[in-house]
Amino acid sequence: MRTPHLILFLFILTTVGCIKDEEPIPDYSVDQLYANSIADAMVADSSEIIDTLLPIIPTNSALQWKKIKGQSYVLMATFMRFPSSYPEGDSITTKWGESWLFIPSQMRNRLAFTASSDTIMRICQLLGLPPVNSSSNTHIAEVWVKAARLRRPAGSPDITTTTASAVLMSGVSASFRNWFNNYIVYAYYHSLQSGTDFHYPWTRFGYTYDWAPDAKEVGLSEYVLQSTSGCWVEKVRTAQEYFKN
């Protein structure tokens, strides 16, 4: 027969075990979540390779194509804070440098907002950008670009595939190799000069790092528009307005 003391002891052990199993996930601040995402992205693991990257090809139904002056353009979008640089309906040249782009329909399909949502913060999380600060982006511009001016920021710049490795592929151009290696230094290791200078959780797998607390890390397929590329501006909206249309 079990004694009352033995029964009590077993009850305590069982209770403690249950409490331990039910420990909540730490409630990290947005700064901690972002720092954790950078540390995680630094170390690329083959298990993080996906086969659902959106390819930039005519048969991809997620894309919109348009002929402008006899040339084929694809509709992409960028999250930025200089709307005056994107006059609607006009052609522009990205003389300021490269631009990181996403596919508009993929962004709209991933995000849904309510009146109380922090739109800017959620976009920053999805695109692997720092928590909202005084230098955060504010607007989304949709632009028509030539597919030939795009490259995938991954081990291979090929934008027509559905998967990518974080390791540089043999045969890439010297210019892309230099860009890739330099961006590793910039994303993870460059010397921070101010409170609005940050490192970035660059996955190198062709998708953004979604660092929201309940996210699965895989954000949007991402692309880089090369510097001095000509494009046509379709529309510019504040981040909040963009999801109302």
Q: How does pLDDT run across 117-171, given as a tens digit for each residue? A: 799 999 999 999 999 999 999 999 999 999 999 999 999 999 999 999 999 999 9
The two tokens of residue 103 are 């596919």
* Whole-angstrom distance, CA of residue 109 vs CA of residue 174: 36
User: Does residue 5 form part of some domain?
Assistant: no
**pLDDT above 80 for 27:** yes
**pLDDT above 60 for 201:** yes
- HSE (CB half, 13 Å, CA atoms) of 73? 21
**pLDDT above 80 for 186:** yes
* The predicted structure's pLDDT at residue 34: 98
Q: How does pLDDT run across 229-242, given as a tens digit for each residue? A: 999 999 999 999 99
3-7, 22-26, 116-120, 143-147: which has the minimum mean pLDDT?
3-7
* The predicted structure's pLDDT at residue 21: 52
* The predicted structure's pLDDT at residue 115: 55
**pLDDT above 70 for 18:** no
User: Does residue 58 form part of some domain?
Assistant: yes
User: Does residue 165 form part of some domain?
Assistant: yes
Q: Mean pLDDT, the chain, as a whole number?
A: 91
User: Does residue 9 form part of some domain?
Assistant: no
Residue-range definition of the domain harbouring residue 147: 28-242
Domains identified in the chain, total number: 1
* The predicted structure's pLDDT at residue 197: 97
Burial of 77 (0-12, 13-18, 19+ CB in 10 A): buried
Measured CA angle at 57 (ends 51, 61), to 5 deg: 80
User: Parallel, antiparallel, or unpaired: how do β-strands 139-145 and 71-80 relate?
Assistant: antiparallel
- The fraction of the chain above a pLDDT of 90, given in percent, is 84
Asked if 118 contacts 212 with a C-beta cutoff of 8 angstroms, the reply is: no
* The predicted structure's pLDDT at residue 23: 58
User: Does residue 18 form part of some domain?
Assistant: no
**pLDDT above 90 for 14:** no
* The predicted structure's pLDDT at residue 24: 60
**pLDDT above 60 for 80:** yes
User: Does residue 89 form part of some domain?
Assistant: yes
* Whole-angstrom distance, CA of residue 242 vs CA of residue 26: 33
How sure is the predictor about 244, in pLDDT bands with cuts at 50, 70 and 90? confident
**pLDDT above 50 for 19:** no
User: Does residue 92 form part of some domain?
Assistant: yes
Mean pLDDT of 179-205: 98
User: Does residue 121 form part of some domain?
Assistant: yes
- The helix/strand/coil state of 12 is helix
